[in-house]
Structure 1
């Protein structure tokens, strides 16, 4: 009944009064690549395979309430100096963040968003490796909160180092 008297204004008011909101708007694969440079000869290679995983994350603000977060995983399997396979996945999502202060937004983008994306990226890497003719491989869970905390410490150290350099330059001028 109140919707009728406000001519539809109530839902917008309720959204504003609801407080902060974190939403997953869209999940998608942004880029994927799988290479077996020495196939089919690599299937007969003897030796202990060594796996190296690199993790990257990028954030792009789309508008006042939406961010694109891309979680990149590169998995390289090698025996000695020979690359057996290389899997690269960029799992992405658009996330809505409304009503959060800047610090909380940064924490959510650095922890919760990759926590949402990682299971999808992990499954895609596993499927690629198996489809490439190799034994199933499952990436272990990642503690994004610990990675974010380390990233925050590094940013603070760089800011302090930058602040000292700025003071020295100002003092010399």
Structure 2
């Protein structure tokens, strides 16, 4: 059906409502990348089961009032026996805009959705670097960032409770 008309003219458009909360990906980029294979080519003939150690870190930096940089750093070390086969370090980052959100909602997005968005990029880059280094393909398994965030919240609450107890146990200043 067409717009309603008043005296033959189109009705004025309703004033635009204030935009609601916004969460957007502004940019995704590689901040740092490194691949080392210190024992090549001898490591290719080593026998034994590879031992993989994964280290995952997240860093958040506020760039301005509504823009945050989230950096997901993945370090994967592969050893065969006592020798290092390779070390891959990928620092995948993104700039995320958040407007009109409560601080708690921002914290949740920074701790869950942002790393969830970055992880596939980091996983692909890690896999490509390992394969380019002459090693069999390796695909990082999915990571439950919601569970990691829940654990972070639990640790924050424990620290806050410990700080509150320490403050309550401290003698009052000026009392002798």
TM-score by length of 1: 0.89
Q: For residue 101 of structure 1, what is the aligned residue in structure 2? A: 102
Higher helix proportion: 1
Q: For residue 38 of structure 2, what is the aligned residue in structure 1? A: 37
Rg larger in structure? 2
Cα RMSD (Å): 1.5
Question: 1:170 Cα deviation (Å)?
Answer: 4.3
Q: For residue 145 of structure 1, what is the aligned residue in structure 2? A: 146
| Structure-2 separation of matches of 1:171 and 1:55 | 42
Q: For residue 77 of structure 1, what is the aligned residue in structure 2? A: 78
Local SS of the residue matching 1:62: strand
Local SS of the residue matching 1:137: coil
Question: 1:80 Cα deviation (Å)?
Answer: 2.3
* 1:114 paired to 2:115: yes
Q: Give unmatched runs, 5+ long, in structure 2.
A: 1-14
Local SS of the residue matching 2:113: helix
Local SS of the residue matching 1:142: coil
Q: Give deviations 1:21-70, integer Å, cap 9, x for gaps.
A: 00000000000000001111111111000111000000000011000000
Question: 1:171 Cα deviation (Å)?
Answer: 4.4
Local SS of the residue matching 1:128: helix
| Structure-1 separation of matches of 2:83 and 2:104 | 44
Q: Give unmatched runs, 5+ long, in structure 1.
A: 1-12
Q: For residue 161 of structure 1, what is the aligned residue in structure 2? A: 162
| Structure-2 separation of matches of 1:60 and 1:108 | 13
1:10-89 pair list within 5 angstroms: 14=16, 17-89=18-90
| Structure-1 separation of matches of 2:153 and 2:83 | 36
| Structure-1 separation of matches of 2:20 and 2:169 | 44
Question: 1:159 Cα deviation (Å)?
Answer: 1.0
Q: Give deviations 1:86-131, integer Å, cap 9, x for gaps.
A: 0000000000000110100000000000011000000000000000
Moved over 6 A (4+): none
